[in-house]
Amino acid sequence: MTRAMLRLSIAPLLLLFACGTDNGVNWNDPQVLHFGPYSLDAEEEITTDCVQITLNNDTDLYINSVEFNSGPGFHHSNWFWVPESSFPGPHWNGKNSSADDGTFTCTDRNFDQSVAALFGGVVFAQSTQAQHEDQQFPTGYAIKIAAHSKLVANIHLLNPGDNAITIKPTLTLTPIPESSLIKQLAGLSFEDHALGLPPNMQSSFAVDTCDLIGADQNPPAPWPTPTFKIYYALAHYHALGTGETIEAIKSDGTATPFYTTTSMIGDSLGAPIDPPFDFTGYTGLRFSCDYYNNTASTVVWGTGTNEMCVFLAFTDSDYNFGGGVPVETDPGPGTMNGNVMSFTHKCDTVIGNPLN
């Protein structure tokens, strides 16, 4: 079996750097970032690689849309911007030179997604096995990427077919000028690692309730009572997933769903929320993932044939939020509701981090 090889495509990057303003890159226009190619043998899977791309931006960027294109072997990827310099502590020893761009084993540079989100920010998350996806925000709304940054992504490659394939993915970033910015967007990302899908059965796993009130945290946190709006959401699960629901919760327990999907993998599981959902008056959130496990084994959190339950959203809050059940945990006893075994786990962690 041949390990997938990744390199930055030199010719497109030479064209990219041939004109413009920031280190030769014209960040007044959309930029197509080429990476790859990836060569995958039949049924080959790679889960340990990351990608680094130097943006050559001397000024802050405000990204209004992200377009992803790949091929059938690109299972999933999470993209973050990070500063060119290393993070404090041992969590990231990224290389400053663009000569070090391309593929690397994530653990060789101690890359950690949660740390990247704190010291940098989320840019894009690909729906499972989606070969094309657009992450589009309303006019004047954008993600900020700080000056002198790199893109770094965890990538998950999987060729489920019987023949070897080669794919050449691209990621297109479309900026807007700072003068056109209405509001910078922040990330809202939660995960449920407390999964244990019973065999040959439908099941549902909920995290209830993630309290977003700063004063309720232990110790109390400085972020204000939520008054933000949610503009875009993305669900993430694997082949056994049948749907995901995200709800806003009021202090009296009233629940209002603001994003639901019933699509299978391969389809885009992200979409704009139009009109944006106003979180004012709500104090927390709950999310749940539904599955049909048609195998004879219990399926837990993880890559490959295992499962995940994640969502990412973008808000106009001044804080990035994250949490859920971030450590693999036994889901505990389930309750049979009709023909569905339901599990509920308390929300273990909520973290709020001010925007850069």
Final residue belonging to a domain, choices 183, 206, 225:
183
What is the Cα–Cα distance from 234 to 3, expressed in whole angstroms? 30
**Range with lowest mean pLDDT among 59-73, 102-116, 214-228:** 102-116
Distance of CA 4 to the CA centre of its chain: 22
Whether 221 contacts 322, CB under 8 Å: no
Q: Note the pLDDT of residue 120.
A: 84
Q: Are residues 176 and 30 in the same domain?
A: yes
More confident residue, 244 or 70: 244
Tell whether 128 and 272 lie within a shared domain.
no
63 and 179: one domain? yes
Same domain, 225 and 118: no
- Whether 200 and 138 map to the same domain: the answer is no
Return d(Cα 207, Cα 197) in angstroms, integer: 15
In a domain, 79, yes or no: yes
Q: Looking at residue 256, which CATH number applies to its domain?
A: 2.60.120.230
220, 314: one domain: yes
Question: Of the candidates 183, 218, 245, which is a domain's last residue?
Answer: 183
Which one of 129, 163, 183 terminates a domain? 183
Quick one: pLDDT at residue 95?
54
CA distance 121 to 301: 24
Q: What is the largest CA-CA distance in the chain?
A: 62
95 and 230 share one domain? no
- Looking at the structure, tell me whether residues 66 and 87 fall in a common domain: yes
pTM (two decimals): 0.85
* Residue 62 buriedness (CB in 10 A; 0-12 / 13-18 / 19+): buried
Going by C-alpha positions, the residue among 35, 72, 265 that lies closest to residue 157 is: 72
Does pLDDT of 298 surpass 50?
Answer: yes
Whether residue 165 sits in one domain with residue 250: no
Residues facing 82 on adjacent strands? 150
Quick one: pLDDT at residue 22? Answer: 46
Please determine, for residue 21, whether its predicted confidence score (pLDDT) is greater than 80: no
Residue 327: which domain range?
A: 185-354
- The answer to whether position 105 is within a domain reads yes
Asked if 198 and 132 sit in the same domain, the reply is no
- Give CA–CA dist 54/151, Å, rounded: 6
> What tens digit of pLDDT does each residue of 151-177 get?
999 888 888 889 999 989 999 999 999
What φ, ψ does residue 240 adopt, rounded to 5°? Answer: -90, -10
Q: Is residue 1 part of a domain?
A: no
One domain, residues 328 and 240: yes
pLDDT value for 77: 87
Q: What is the pLDDT of residues 81-139, one digit of tens each?
A: 988 775 555 555 555 556 678 888 888 888 877 778 777 888 998 887 788 899 999 99
- Phi/psi-derived region of residue 232, left when phi > 0, alpha when psi is between -120 and 50, beta in every other case: beta
- The predicted-structure confidence for 175-208, as pLDDT tens digits, reads as follows 999 999 999 999 999 999 999 999 999 999 999 9
Per DSSP (E only), the strands in 70-220 are 74-83, 102-105, 121-125, 132-136, 141-145, 149-158, 165-167, 170-175, 183-184, 186-192, 196-197, 201-211
278 and 318, same domain (yes or no): yes
